[in-house]
């Protein structure tokens, strides 16, 4: 299994570690959308989720000299976002006078934190790969994969024929599979893209955000980072 980190990921992580703004900007662009989605699944409020994600990036930037790889940065970001999202959810609960044993806060743990992180990582990988596609295909696939819309719904929203949507989707999927081929141990995507990405990310990422330390396993190499 190959790592999900590109050469550019590693270079920018090193720049981030050195405290260079170019590294911060890269990490910001790579992770902000996925971290926001991750937080929103817990707090159910987009504006709060955006604040949590942005603040997590600031906190991680302050720790840059202790985070010496792309994997370490990623692990720390998800740990901080999970912790701060749960704290925000508790405050929402207190304001709503809901008991700790049930109500809204119980929904936070209906899906294991590790599964939430895996979902967010799949979103991040797709989001960044889609940005490199031609505008037409990118627009269709973003709505298909990220907004969970059907081909008919996409055609109606964009004012295009279903046939045009199908063609752009087909062309986009071919290009997207080529963009993501380096992630697969086979060098290509045989299955549905989201199914294959879930399989890959589950192998690459193992994070326990509830532990006192943040453990990230990549290709059987473990790094432990205190938060």
Kindly report the pTM of this predicted structure: 0.65
- What is the C-alpha to C-alpha distance for residues 26 and 8, in angstroms, rounded to an integer? 10
What integer best gives the mean pLDDT of the chain? 77
- Tell me the β-bridge partners of 224: 215
Among residues 16, 43, 35, 39, the alpha carbon closest in space to that of 27 is found at: 16
- Flag whether pLDDT at 180 surpasses 70: yes
Query: Phi and psi (nearest 5°) for 11?
Result: -65, -45
Confidence of residue 104 (pLDDT cuts 50, 70, 90): very low
How far is 71 from 218, CA to CA, in rounded Å? 8
Share of the chain above pLDDT 70, in %: 70
Tokens coding 191: 């299955």
pLDDT band at residue 187, thresholds of 50, 70 and 90?
low
190 backbone dihedrals φ, ψ, rounded to 5°: -90, -40
pLDDT at 178 over 90: no
């Amino acid at each position: 299994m190959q790592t999900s980190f590109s050469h550019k990921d590693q270079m920018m992580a090193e720049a981030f570690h050195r405290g260079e703004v170019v590294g911060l900007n890269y990490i910001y662009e790579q992770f902000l959308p996925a971290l926001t989605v991750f937080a929103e699944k817990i707090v159910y409020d987009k504006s709060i989720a955006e604040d949590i994600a942005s603040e997590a990036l600031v906190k991680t930037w302050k720790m840059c000299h202790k985070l010496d790889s792309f994997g370490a940065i990623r692990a720390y970001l998800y740990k901080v976002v999970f912790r701060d999202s749960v704290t925000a959810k508790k405050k929402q609960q207190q304001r709503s006078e809901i008991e700790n044993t049930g109500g809204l806060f119980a929904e936070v743990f209906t899906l294991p934190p590790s599964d939430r992180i895996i979902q967010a990582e799949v979103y991040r990988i797709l989001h960044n790969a889609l940005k490199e596609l031609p505008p037409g295909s990118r627009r269709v696939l973003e709505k298909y994969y990220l907004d969970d819309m059907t081909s008919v719904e996409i055609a109606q929203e964009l004012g295009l024929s279903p046939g045009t949507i199908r063609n752009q989707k087909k062309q986009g999927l071919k290009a997207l599979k080529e963009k993501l081929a380096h992630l697969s141990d086979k060098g290509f995507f045989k299955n549905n893209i989201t199914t294959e990405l879930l399989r890959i990310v589950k192998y690459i990422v193992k994070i326990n955000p509830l532990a006192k330390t943040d453990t990230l396993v990549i290709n059987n190499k473990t790094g432990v980072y205190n938060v």
